[in-house]
Structures are given as structure tokens and as C-alpha cells.
């Protein structure tokens, strides 16, 4: 209405003229137009009044509270989670490889030197002897074929119990490995899910949170240095000048006036009191420093 030049028409909905006049009178003083910040008077509640900066200790407490609240929002992950994840997957792969070595029945694997590896080695040795004897019993010289056949039959009799012993040990080792492999898979999957949740939060959903946390860490380090410096100055000032500023706080040394001692302390600690009868007294001449003349700087 401030731009009106001739007249302004205001329409109001009311039951009668008195109610319309009352409504217009009440709402006429309400201003909804925009105002400049420089036009605000000091008494205006919307005016921004500058305040004194808080003490370093107060600002440090505020930053720490904000840091704790923000850090609680970030999905937690172990420290050095990339290395922890790599180590977890490596242990899982080792267990899987040991399980695959049992199924492959290879002698030179992780089971070499164990009871399972020893049983496998003994079985494979007899197995190779039987296979070679059977081959020569069919393709070798005619006169030696019966001997190779007997060797193959003897090796077959010795192979059966060795194979059964290895199968039993391998089954026991497999029963021990299967729960470990399942647990390793579960741990690796859980850790990977936590890492992905953390990375999605700090990289996609809320990338401003880690930046704010870094800024808070830097500011808290600076304020912590200021607070520590102020504390050291205060402790130094209190320790050096507190007795001079207020002598009533200075400690009072104990008084020895009026106290009786059986032996005089000075006599008890003197050489005369410590000297025994018959001791020889040697009088020493006073020491006189000799004058060698001016110093010529020769190191003599």
C-alpha cells in the first residue's frame, strides 16, 4: 500500500461494519514487506548483536561435543579396515585352499609334514607301485609278466588299508575345516558389509561429515594447545608469585624458640666435639694462589 498514489481499496469479510473496522485496525500495523539489515534498530529482536568470543576452554568443549555427536552418526568400522579386511580374506582363502587340497589328494601341499600328509604319501607310494606293476604285467616281457602280476596283487592288498586310513584322517580334517571356513566366510562378509555401509555414508550420502570432522580435529588441536599453554602460564604464575601477592598464604616455618635440647647442635656437629682424646691436631697453612703473569693464550 506504500506505492499507492490516489487511493487504496481494501475489502474485508465480516458480519457487520464494526467487525470489519476492528479487523482492519488490528491487522493494519502488521508489516510483511522485506527490510534491509542496516535498517534494523538495536531494539529489534531480529537484529543480530555481536557477542564476545568464548574462552578457549569453552570453545574446546563445544567442539568436542559436536565431534562426538557427528562421529556417532558415522557407521563404525575397525581402524585400518582395509588392512583388516585384506587379512580376513587372506585367512579365509588359506582355509579354502587347505580344504581343496584334501579333495585334490596332492602330496606336496599345505598338508605336507602332517599326519594327513604322511598317510597320503604312504598310500600314493603303494598306489604308484601297483599301477606300475599292472602296466608291466600287460605290456612287459612275456617271461616277467607273471612276476609283475604278483607284485600288483601284493601292492593292491597293502593299498586298501592305507587308502582307508587316509580317508579317515582326511574326513576328520574336513570336519574340522568346514566350520572354520564357514566362520571365516561369515566374518569376511560381515566386515565387507560394514565397510561398504561406512563408505556409502561418507562418500555418497553425507560427504560433508568427514570434512567437518577433519576441521573439528584441526580446531580442537589448536585450542588444546592454547588451553595447555594458558594452564602452564597459570601454574607458573601461581607457583612463582602467589606467596608475594598474598603473604597470608605463605607457609610459616616452625619456630625453635623455647625448645630445650640435651646437647647443643653446633657443638655436636663441630670438629671439637667429634675429636677423640689423644688425636693429633695438624694446623694447615692457608692456600695462596701463585701468579704466573698474563695469559698469552697458549693453553699453558
What are the average pLDDT values for consecutive 10-residue runs of the chain, which has 300 residues? 64 76 74 57 57 81 92 89 87 89 76 86 90 88 88 90 91 91 91 92 92 93 89 75 52 56 50 55 55 52
For residues 12 and 20, is the Cβ–Cβ distance under 8 A? Answer: yes
| HSE-CB for 213 with a 13 A CA cutoff | 14
Closest CA to 73 of 218, 220, 197, 217: 197
**The pLDDT value given to residue 300:** 47
**The pLDDT value given to residue 202:** 92
273-299 confidence digits (pLDDT tens):
455 555 555 555 555 555 555 555 555
226-285 confidence digits (pLDDT tens):
888 888 887 787 765 554 555 555 555 555 555 554 555 445 445 554 555 555 555 555
d(CA 273, CA 157): 108
**The pLDDT value given to residue 168:** 92
**The pLDDT value given to residue 18:** 81
**The pLDDT value given to residue 198:** 92
Q: Which three cell numbers stand for residue 294?
A: 698474563
d(CA 135, CA 151): 11
Amino acid at each position: 500500500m506504500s506505492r499507492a498514489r490516489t487511493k487504496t481499496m481494501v475489502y474485508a469479510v465480516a458480519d457487520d461494519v464494526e467487525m470489519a473496522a476492528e479487523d482492519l485496525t488490528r491487522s493494519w500495523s502488521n508489516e510483511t514487506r522485506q527490510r534491509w539489515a542496516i535498517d534494523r534498530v538495536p531494539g529489534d529482536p531480529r537484529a543480530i548483536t555481536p557477542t564476545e568470543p568464548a574462552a578457549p576452554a569453552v570453545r574446546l568443549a563445544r567442539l568436542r561435543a559436536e565431534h562426538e555427536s557427528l562421529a556417532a552418526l558415522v557407521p563404525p568400522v575397525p581402524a585400518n579396515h582395509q588392512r583388516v579386511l585384506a587379512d580376513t580374506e587372506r585367512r579365509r582363502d588359506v582355509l579354502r585352499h587347505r580344504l581343496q587340497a584334501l579333495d585334490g589328494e596332492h602330496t606336496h601341499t599345505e598338508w605336507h609334514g602332517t599326519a594327513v600328509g604322511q598317510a597320503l604319501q604312504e598310500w600314493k607310494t603303494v598306489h604308484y607301485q601297483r599301477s606300475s606293476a599292472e602296466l608291466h604285467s600287460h605290456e612287459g616281457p612275456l617271461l616277467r609278466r607273471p612276476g609283475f602280476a604278483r607284485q600288483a596283487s601284493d601292492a593292491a592288498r597293502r593299498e586298501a588299508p592305507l587308502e582307508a586310513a587316509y580317508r579317515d584322517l582326511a574326513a576328520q580334517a574336513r570336519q574340522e575345516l568346514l566350520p572354520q571356513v564357514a566362520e571365516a566366510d561369515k566374518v569376511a562378509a560381515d566386515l565387507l558389509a560394514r565397510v561398504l555401509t561406512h563408505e556409502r555414508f561418507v562418500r555418497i550420502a553425507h560427504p560433508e561429515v568427514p570434512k567437518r570432522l577433519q576441521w573439528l580435529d584441526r580446531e580442537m588441536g589448536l585450542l588444546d594447545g592454547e588451553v595447555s599453554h594458558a594452564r602452564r602460564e597459570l601454574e607458573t604464575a601461581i607457583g612463582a608469585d602467589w606467596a608475594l601477592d598474598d603473604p597470608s598464604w605463605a607457609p610459616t616455618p616452625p619456630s625453635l624458640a623455647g625448645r630445650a635440647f640435651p646437647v647443643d647442635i653446633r657443638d655436636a656437629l663441630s670438629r671439637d666435639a667429634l675429636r677423640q682424646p689423644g688425636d693429633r691436631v695438624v694446623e694447615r697453612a692457608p692456600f695462596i694462589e701463585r701468579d704466573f703473569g698474563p695469559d698469552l693464550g697458549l693453553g699453558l
